[in-house]
Each structure stands twice: as C-alpha cells, then as structure tokens.
Structure 1
Amino acid sequence: MIDTKSKYSISEVSEITGYPQHVLRFYEKEFKLNIPRNKSNHRYYTYKEIEKINYIKELQNKGFTNKQIKLILNSPEEIIVNNHNETAITSVAFQLNDISNGKNFITEFQNSLIEKIQETLNQNYINNIEALKELKTEIEQLKHEIKNKEHDVLICENAKLKMKLKEKSYEVAELKEKLKREKEANKSIFKRIFKIK
C-alpha cells in the first residue's frame, strides 16, 4: 500500500505503476500532471500523483483514449476554501444536467426524423418504401450510437466519482491520524497536570 506521507522517486513509481520512466515523463506532459520537484530539480511523487497515474492506467485498461482521459481529468471542479482546508467537489449536477439536455436533444432529433418519415410516406408511399427502409436503418444506427455515448458518459462519471472517493478516503485517514495524535497529546498533558498536583 502507498504511504500517504512518503515521497517516491520516478524509479519507485515506475515499479509501483508498471510504467517505464520515459512513459511517466511523457504522461506528465500529455496529461498536464503537476509533478513536484525537490531542490535539486528531481521529480518526486506523493500518493496523490501515484493515484492519478493509476487512475489513468485504469481508464486506459477500460479502452479510453488519451483524449477521453484528458476530458475526464480536466472535468470542471468547484474549489471551496474554508479555514485553509480545500475540498474538491465535482459539479456532477451540471454534468447530469448536460446529459439530460443531450437526451432531450436526441429525443427531439428522433421525433423530427419520424416526422420526416411520415411526410415522405404521405407524398408517395409506393416510391419511397426503399427510402423508408434506409431511414429506419439510420434511426437504429443513431439509437445504437446514442446508447453507446450515454454508456461512455456514465462510465466516465463513475470513474471520476471513484477517483474522488479515493481522494476523500485518504483525507479521512489523514484526519483520523491527526485526531489520534491530538488525543494522545491531550492525555499526556492531563497526566502531567495531575502528577504535579
């Protein structure tokens, strides 16, 4: 398991992720990853960078192209700053609204196609039987494409939410560890106070 407080060299990350070092350097530019550097200008990786690289690998394994992965990684986020604690909230509501608008557009498009088919039939039923068959085939193809696009959007959303969940779980683990240390510190203070009295 990756230590949330450790810093890893590029060779260690290469072993962890299975990517050669030159691929890691390429992905840093390709996906605009913000890899920190030490005073000697050498790259080092924390669990956040390693998680992002593993996330890219997971998306690649699911068949996403680099272009699609860039869209997922660069999805709109809203940053809320509260007492120096940063919390990233993906604007899923906006994305779902976009999906809903897309479905409405698709429904309207399908309806307009059906109207065109009916007009064609009314003009000349016998002469347009072949045209009708072609339009039906197009509708089926469009339905198939729409279904695939909706499926891709849902997979992307699911992948983004999983990534956010991982980030949150690390944040929770860090907060729990901090709370535990503070409790221990408070206990030792009380012990010292009571021993003096």
Structure 2
Amino acid sequence: MDVLKERYSITELSQYLNVTDHTLRFYEKEFQIKVPKDDRGRRYYNTDLANIMYQIKTMRDEGLEIKAIRKILQRDNVISEPDVITPEVSLTVPYKINETAYAEFKSIFLALKDEISCTVTNEFALTKEHISKELTKNKLELGACIENNMRKLETKMDKHFQDVDDCLTKWRKKNQSGIFKKLIGKAFQKNTL
C-alpha cells in the first residue's frame, strides 16, 4: 500500500491492516466513525481515518476491550464524547505501547504466573499428602475395627462351641444308662453273632 496515497478503499485498507472488510465496518459502527463515500457509494478512507483504524486495530491486538479503546480515543480527542468522529480529525502519533513498559509488564506477569503455578503445585502436593495421611489413618482404623470384630466373633464362636460341648457332655451322661446304651449294645450283639 502506498503510504502517501490520499484515499484507500475498504479492501486496500483491510489488506494493509490484515483484517476483514467486516472488521473495518464493525469499527466504524462501534466508534461511530463517519467514512465518506464516493459517488458510487463505496467507502474511502483518507490518511487520518486510516491512522485511526490502525490505532484501533493495534489496541485490539494488544487485548484491549472496545470500552477501553473508546476511552483512550476520547482521552486523546480522536473521537468526541458522543462517539462521533469526523474525517478532519488527525492523529499526529499513532498509539504505540512503550517497549520498556511492555517488557516490565511481561516480566511481572511471567513472575506472577510462575508464583501462582508454584503455589498451586505446593497446595496440590499438600492436599495429596493430607489425603494420603487420612486414607492411611482410615485404613488403620478400619483394620483395628475389623480385628476387634474378629475377636468378638471368635469369642462368640468359642462360647457357642463350649455350649455345644457342654450339651453333648450332658446328653452323653444322661443317656449312658438309658435307651441309647441298650441300642448300642444290641447293635454290637448282632454284629458279633
């Protein structure tokens, strides 16, 4: 694109700024920029309007929101309070971020990112350790509970078997001289004959 050119079509400007025609029309609408049209109704941008579009695109590329861009343009008197811009407005210096400030911001951001990452990692490790301890504690408590229940069951079973033994002993004593002895005696007599 010729830098000294007086007029730019929307296609030329969109190619130069590496945006779509739709994006330029969106900027016109959002910032209420009045772009003159030729006798055929096609938009044409003079150098001042091209600089304004460049400034808006640069700020969007840096991540600024529309409201912030509007405030900056109003502060720099690029657009007026009612958000109306006329083609006569000129930008003397396009918006450009200070490289030193950007580098400082980037280093602070990266340090903050590293600090947050480290904090999250440490918290994760502490949480994992706490959960592991709780699980171990719960396993030990569960093991002790199972062991205690096994002892109770063994005691109950021992008592039950002791009761069965006592019953059998009583029954044998009771039936030693009774019918059972006679039946056993008769059974042995038949086998010996």
Question: TM-score, structure 1 length as denominator?
Answer: 0.38
Structure with the higher fraction of residues in strand conformation: 1
